């Protein structure tokens, strides 16, 4: 099949013609059967990044049928051979990192540097899962009978539906698709409709690396068809990252179908700055955690808890740094923070900040106002820090944008209680050099990922990723944890005939 589904890239950053979107179904690149889609640049929403046609029900059926047909052969392909394809995918991603990272920034709104780093991260993830072919994937146990051993082997689950969010257009798909394929599954993938171009790029990389037909299908479509994909009778398991409301809907529908599902959902992640912290380090990390990717990470720092005795001093340092962030076009190398993903997201977040500012006990320390310069036409928001006197919606609800809510705590105990005061439990950060406080945090902070003296975001490919409480459901992602979701065990009692003396 042809390797490339889209137009050649422009020679320079200035020549940006919209790219052409294609679906990848049953091994062929084709337009969808549905309505036209125009993918726009959040920094300049009148500018088209890519255009194409959405997938429809018929496309979905064809993709799932092709996946079912491709599954037995792919599952029977030796793991090292599958691994080589993943390795080559990583090489393609590395080779295109600059170009595709720039497209990522253009399409999604994070800075160019973050975009390039994300494509490289996707390459690292593919390389890790290529290496799974060389690691043990089962276990051998003793049997109570002579002449017998018990093997616990792992088999792929089958056709996996992957539904991925806009905020990491290539890294999150990589950490679902790479383990799925490595362990012998086939995938039908519905990326967020805000970032179809980067989805296309990842699919191109896999095809260029030699992925056989039907092993991955890409459906660029709306949410309703994504829901039908998850419920399709030809699908065996569903992996999802995105909003809490959609994730819960999928948990319910998969529960009805008795279908394995893994969801990674919201966060309201807290950073705690204790009196003993290195303030410069803490301020730099909190700014990174709260405002990189314009705060649009499920792992972003959206709550800050500062020990009372140092709060004035620390907040002064922090708000100065935040006010110094340069907000603008993500493709401008000097930009520190780009827009949020859409005008709709911008308006919803601004409304929540405005409503909060009108409540007693809510004080905006920096930011909080709409732009009235040339950024007003883009999806830009000011990086915002809001201090709260007590509990408030801004303390509880995930805004998914550049808004940091602050409260003061009497001491470490009080601070950790405030961290745990959330329905979510994805990640947390504690800044201190007090060993007692560190061990207390390790024991008591109820999250899936805890950082000591580093920001709340970030995930290395070889360790488990996922949250506690309502942040996630089902087995964790990444590292060897991915085996739990993307394979099932088969316990084999293995005896040579004539064993056990009978
Ligand atoms: C990171 O912190 O680098 O949707 C990754 C999200 C998370 C990924 C976070 N699943 O933001």
Between CA 201 and CA 175 the distance in angstroms is 15
Judged against a pLDDT cut of 50, whether residue 324 lies above it is answered with yes
> Can you tell me the mean pLDDT for 260-265?
98
What was the pLDDT predicted at 13? 45
Best mutation site among 174, 194, 299, 467 for ligand 1, i.e. most ligand atoms within 8 A of its Cβ?
Answer: 299
Best mutation site among 246, 456, 459 for ligand 1, i.e. most ligand atoms within 8 A of its Cβ?
Answer: 459
Instruction: Give the closest residue to 267 by CA, choosing from 423, 407, 62, 55.
Output: 423
264 lines ligand 1 (CB under 6 A): yes
Which single residue is written with the structure tokens 């036209």?
A: 36
The answer to whether position 457 is within a domain reads: no
What was the pLDDT predicted at 2? 46
What was the pLDDT predicted at 130? 98
Q: Is the same domain home to 308 and 222?
A: no
* Strand ranges for 338-480 from DSSP E: 362-366, 384-388, 403-409, 424-425, 427-431, 449-452, 468-469, 472-473
What was the pLDDT predicted at 497? 86
Which single residue is written with the structure tokens 């105990």?
A: 413
Q: What is the pTM of this model?
A: 0.96
Q: Is the same domain home to 253 and 374?
A: no
How many structural domains are present in the chain? 2
Centroid of ligand 1 to alpha carbon of 374 (angstroms): 30
Centroid of ligand 1 to alpha carbon of 364 (angstroms): 27
Residue nearest to atom 1 of ligand 1 (CA): 458
> Can you tell me the mean pLDDT for 123-134?
97
Specify the ligand 1 atom closest to the Cα of 264. Answer: 10
**Dihedral angle over CA of 9, 12, 18, 19, nearest 10:** 10
What was the pLDDT predicted at 9? 40
In the chain, helix, strand, coil percent, each to 5? 40, 25, 35
Instruction: Give the closest residue to 199 by CA, choosing from 210, 184, 187, 182.
Output: 187
Q: Is the same domain home to 108 and 122?
A: yes
298 is catalytic: yes
pLDDT in tens, 175-222: 999 999 999 999 999 999 999 999 999 999 999 999 999 999 999 999
Per the CB < 8 A criterion, the answer to whether 63 and 158 are in contact is no
CA angle 399, 405, 408 (to 5 degrees): 155
What was the pLDDT predicted at 5? 52
Q: Is the same domain home to 149 and 211?
A: yes
> Can you tell me the mean pLDDT for 302-324?
98
Best mutation site among 120, 122, 168 for ligand 1, i.e. most ligand atoms within 8 A of its Cβ?
Answer: 168
What was the pLDDT predicted at 500? 57
Q: Is the same domain home to 220 and 335?
A: no
- Give the β-pairing of 468-469 and 424-425: antiparallel
299 lines ligand 1 (CB under 6 A): yes
The answer to whether position 466 is within a domain reads: no
244 lines ligand 1 (CB under 6 A): no
Q: Is the same domain home to 302 and 372?
A: yes
Judged against a pLDDT cut of 70, whether residue 261 lies above it is answered with yes
Q: Is the same domain home to 256 and 141?
A: yes
pLDDT in tens, 362-411: 999 999 999 999 999 999 999 999 999 999 999 999 999 999 999 999 99
Q: Is the same domain home to 259 and 276?
A: no
pLDDT in tens, 406-463: 999 999 999 999 999 999 999 999 999 999 999 999 999 999 999 999 999 999 999 9
pLDDT confidence of 321, banded at 50, 70, 90?
Answer: very high
Q: Which two tokens stand for residue 132?
A: 């799974």
H/E element holding 494? strand 487-495
CATH of the domain at 46: 3.40.605.10
What was the pLDDT predicted at 499? 58
> Can you tell me the mean pLDDT for 226-249?
98
Centroid of ligand 1 to alpha carbon of 182 (angstroms): 21
Q: What percentage of the chain exceeds 90 in pLDDT?
A: 95
Per the CB < 8 A criterion, the answer to whether 419 and 261 are in contact is no
pLDDT confidence of 16, banded at 50, 70, 90?
Answer: confident
Domain that holds residue 32: 20-265+471-489
CA distances 353 to 43, 382, 402, Å, are 21, 11, 11
167 lines ligand 1 (CB under 6 A): yes
The answer to whether position 209 is within a domain reads: yes
Q: Is the same domain home to 284 and 174?
A: no
> Can you tell me the mean pLDDT for 115-144?
97
What was the pLDDT predicted at 501? 53
């Amino acid at each position: 099949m042809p390797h490339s589904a889209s137009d050649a890239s422009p020679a320079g950053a200035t020549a940006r013609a919209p790219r052409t979107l294609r679906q990848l179904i049953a091994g062929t690149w084709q337009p969808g059967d549905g309505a036209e889609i125009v993918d726009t640049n959040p920094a300049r929403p009148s500018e088209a990044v890519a255009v194409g046609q959405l997938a429809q029900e018929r496309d979905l059926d064809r993709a799932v049928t092709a996946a079912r047909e491709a599954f037995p052969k792919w599952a029977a392909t030796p793991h090292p051979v599958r691994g080589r394809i993943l390795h080559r995918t990583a090489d393609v991603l590395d080779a295109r990192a600059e170009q595709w990272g720039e497209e990522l920034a253009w399409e999604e709104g994070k800075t160019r540097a973050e975009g390039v780093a994300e494509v490289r991260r996707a390459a690292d993830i593919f390389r890790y899962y290529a290496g799974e072919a060389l690691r043990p994937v089962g276990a051998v146990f003793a049997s109570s009978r002579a002449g017998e051993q018990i093997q616990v082997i792992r088999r792929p689950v089958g056709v996996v539906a992957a539904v991925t969010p806009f905020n990491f257009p290539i890294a999150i798909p990589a950490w679902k698709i790479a383990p799925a394929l490595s362990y012998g599954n086939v995938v039908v993938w519905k990326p967020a409709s805000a970032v179809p171009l980067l989805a296309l790029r990842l699919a191109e990389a896999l095809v260029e690396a030699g992925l056989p037909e039907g092993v991955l299908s890409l459906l660029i479509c709306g949410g309703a068809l994504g829901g039908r994909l998850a419920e399709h009778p030809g699908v065996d398991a569903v992996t999802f990252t995105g909003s809490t409301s959609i994730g819960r809907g999928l948990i319910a529908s998969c529960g009805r179908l008795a279908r394995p599902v893994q969801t990674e959902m919201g966060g309201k992640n807290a950073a705690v700055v204790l009196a003993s912290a290195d303030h410069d380090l803490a301020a730099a990390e909190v700014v990174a955690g709260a405002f990189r990717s314009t705060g649009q990470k499920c792992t972003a720092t959206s709550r800050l808890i500062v020990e009372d005795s140092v709060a004035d001093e620390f907040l002064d340092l922090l708000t100065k740094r935040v006010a110094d962030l340069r907000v603008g076009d993500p493709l401008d190398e000097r930009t520190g923070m780009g827009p949020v993903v859409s005008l709709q997201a911008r308006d919803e977040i601004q409304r929540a900040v405005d409503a909060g500012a009108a409540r007693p006990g809510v004080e905006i320390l920096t930011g909080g106002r709409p732009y009235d310069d040339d950024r007003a036409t883009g999806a830009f928001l000011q990086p915002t820090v809001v201090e709260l006197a007590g509990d408030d919606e801004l303390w509880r609800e995930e805004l998914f944008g550049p808004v940091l809510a602050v409260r003061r705590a009497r001491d470490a105990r009080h601070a950790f209680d405030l961290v745990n005061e959330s329905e979510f439990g994805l990640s947390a950060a504690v800044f201190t050099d007090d060993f007692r406080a560190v061990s207390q945090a390790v024991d008591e902070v109820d999250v899936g990922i805890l950082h000591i003296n580093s920001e709340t975001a970030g995930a290395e490919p070889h360790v488990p990723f996922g949250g506690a409480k309502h942040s996630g459901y089902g087995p964790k992602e990444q590292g060897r944890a991915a085996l739990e979701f993307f394979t099932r065990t088969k316990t084999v009692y293995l005896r040579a005939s004539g064993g056990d003396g009978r």
